Chains A and B, each alone.
Chain A
Amino acid sequence: MSFSWIGTLILALLAAAYGAQTARTSAAQPPAQPESLAAFQQVLQVLRHPRCMNCHVPGNQPLQGDDRHAHTMNVKRGVDGKGTVAMRCSNCHQLENSTTLHAPPGATDWQMPPAKTPMAWSGLSDGDLCRAIKDPEKNGHRTLPALIPHMDTSLVTWAWNPGPGRTSPPLSHDEFVNQLKRWIHTGAACPQ
């Protein structure tokens, strides 16, 4: 009899806690749309890929390769994201990929995000990454619609033409942009 009473009390407390959590969530943001969340999961497959993630890192050192090791030669971000004195990105990275295996890849404006807006995604949960790319303070001062043309810049499209020895994201570039548009047009919902 006493066990039954305790069990009922525990259930009641859990229900109350869940209700409070739900209420907090509802107050913080509108209910997530399933279609928007599904689109974001597709977008995530690209954002999480090493071609993107290797430069969207905290700290000052870019990464290299699909195993995401630290960039050799002590390469650093620099204030403008284009390297440091005598170690500018463009000292080695040209406007096009080298055709030689393990030689530097290249694209116009090869760079990391600048130090003021590092756009670091490593270590973020899916929800936090989603909120980061929506936040103009964290996404390079871009509105949501402005994210779309950014994906057509030479540095972003390079991920689908990365040169010998490097993999590309699992979605095609067209499919990636379509999913990004779908996410935005359905409310740009973020996972918890």
Chain B
Amino acid sequence: MPPTTPETSTRAITLEVNGKQRTVHVDPAKPLLWVLREDLQLTGTKFGCGMAQCGACTVNLNGDAVRSCVVPMTRAAGQKVTTIEGLSPDRSHPLQKAWIAEQVPQCGYCQPGQIMAASVLLAHVPKPTDADIDDAMSGNICRCGTYERIRRAIHRAANSTHKGGGQ
């Protein structure tokens, strides 16, 4: 009797990540976060809570700031994903420049998720108020408490874009 190979539930799934078509062979239930980190070696996106409670794993999926730790690959298949690595080729995105100018990070762990959420906010609301920022960012937790600097950086990025800084 020939040896049997263990049944696997993996299949080929193609999606666009940071502008490039990528195909992975994974369990369709695998969370997008772990495909990004393990299969595509894009480790800028962080694991925080694993249950959509902290926002550290936020990436852009078709323009929405999704929590990649709970997004199964069945949802991501064929879709467009942007991670912190794809925001700009050279850290030149207005948010990245503003984050550095305001020295936002302390430990830095939550900041990729914060920036990705902020990028979705600015895509919809180019000149956000403090209230707009609070509403859009309240699902992203920062244990270091950098919220004031995050708010300043978003205003700075909005102003630089408004003045022709580009995005």
CB closest chain-A residue, reference B72: A94
User: B52 and A86: CB pair below 8 A?
Assistant: no
Interface residue A11 (Cβ < 8 Å from any Cβ of B): no
User: B52 and A85: CB pair below 8 A?
Assistant: no
A contacts with B: majority SS: loop
* Size category, A interface: 20 to 34
B contacts with A: majority SS: mixed
A103 in complex: contacting residue of B51, B64, B72, B121, CB < 8 Å: B51
Q: Mark B108-122, 1 if CB is under 8 A from A, else 0.
A: 000000000110110
Contacts of A74 in B (CB 8 A): 134-135, 138-139
Interface residue A2 (Cβ < 8 Å from any Cβ of B): no
Interface residue B71 (Cβ < 8 Å from any Cβ of A): yes
Complex formed: what's the CA distance from A168 to B51 in Å?
A: 22
Contacts of B135 in A (CB 8 A): 74, 76, 84-85, 87
Interface residue A141 (Cβ < 8 Å from any Cβ of B): no
User: A91 and B136: CB pair below 8 A?
Assistant: no
Tell me, rounded to whole Å, the shortest Cβ–Cβ distance linking B120 to chain A.
4
Instruction: Tell me how many residue pairs across A and B have CB atoms closer than 8 Å.
Output: 68
User: B50 and A91: CB pair below 8 A?
Assistant: no
Q: Which residues of B contact A (CB under 8 A)?
A: 50-53, 64-67, 70-72, 75, 117-118, 120-121, 124-125, 132, 134-139
Contacts A84-B136, A85-B121, A92-B66 aside, 15 further interface pairs with beta carbons under 8 A come to A73-B138, A74-B134, A74-B139, A85-B124, A86-B124, A87-B135, A87-B138, A88-B65, A91-B64, A91-B65, A91-B67, A95-B75, A100-B51, A102-B51, A103-B50
28 pairs, A vs B, C-beta closer than 8 Å: A72-B53, A73-B139, A74-B134, A74-B135, A74-B139, A75-B139, A84-B136, A86-B117, A86-B120, A86-B124, A86-B136, A86-B137, A87-B136, A87-B138, A88-B65, A90-B66, A91-B66, A91-B67, A92-B52, A92-B70, A92-B139, A94-B70, A95-B75, A100-B51, A102-B51, A103-B51, A103-B52, A104-B70
Q: Which residues of A contact B (CB under 8 A)?
A: 72-76, 84-88, 90-92, 94-95, 98, 100, 102-104
